[in-house]
């Protein structure tokens, strides 16, 4: 399958990794939107959050747990934002489930 995040997970495409275990990996976004901008993905190809079921939803909890750990490691003590873009209207450009961990600056609300 021609999926850039599957290739990052397998190491076929290089990335600056922030975390890795057998189920998920985290790496720095190529086009950072904040001083800290890390993407966290399941290694298994799941195309979006719409594909989450009772059988695979544990991966989402694990991703959030690691996001909080990475926020602490990156000293985001004043807060941070976790974003999931889903589908065209949500602004999803890579069709492999990922969450963005953004921090190191004050975030605006509502997002654009
Ligand atoms: P989204 O728009 O939510 O689908 O987010 C996709 C994100 O992936 C964007 O922020 C891109 O900058 C980022 N991205 C795309 N290709 C790469 C790559 N090879 N390495 C790191 N980040 C990437
Ligand atoms: Zn994939």
Which residue, among 16, 7, 24, has the nearest Cα to 74 in the 3D structure? 16
CB 92 near ligand 1, within 6 Å: yes
Can you tell me whether residue 11 is helix, strand or coil? coil
Alpha helices of 54-94 — where are they, by DSSP H? 58-73, 87-90
Q: 57 alpha carbon to ligand 1 midpoint, in Å?
A: 22
Strand ranges in the chain using DSSP code E only, listed in sequence order: 17-20, 24-28, 36-42, 80-83, 99-103
**Tokens 């490691």, residue located:** 73
What's the half-sphere exposure (Cβ side, CA atoms, 13 Å) at 20?
A: 10
* pTM of the predicted protein model: 0.98
Whether pLDDT at 32 is above 80: yes
Q: What's the gap in Å between 99 CA and the centre of ligand 1? A: 10
State if residue 94 touches ligand 1 by the CB under 6 angstroms criterion: yes
Bridge partners (DSSP) of residue 20 are 25
In short, whether 12's Cβ falls inside 6 Å of ligand 1 is no
How much is the pLDDT for 45? Answer: 98
What's the mean pLDDT when you consider all of the chain? 97
Residue 75 among the catalytic residues: no
* Confidence at residue 112, expressed as pLDDT on a 0 to 100 scale: 82
Mean pLDDT, range 64-88, rounded to an integer:
98
Q: From CA 8, how far away is CA 66, in angstroms rounded?
A: 18
Cα-to-centroid distance, 25 and ligand 2 (Å): 12
């Amino acid at each position: 399958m021609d999926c850039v995040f599957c290739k990052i997970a397998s190491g076929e495409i290089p990335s600056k990794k922030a975390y890795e275990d057998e189920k998920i990996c985290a790496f720095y976004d190529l086009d950072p939107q904040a001083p800290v901008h890390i993407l966290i993905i399941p290694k298994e190809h799941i195309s979006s959050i719409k594909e989450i079921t009772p059988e695979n939803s544990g991966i989402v909890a694990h991703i959030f747990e690691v996001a909080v750990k990475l926020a602490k490691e990156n000293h985001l003590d004043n807060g941070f934002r976790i974003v999931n873009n889903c589908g065209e209207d949500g602004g999803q450009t890579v069709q492999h489930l990922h969450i963005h961990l953004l921090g190191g600056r004050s975030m605006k609300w509502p997002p654009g």
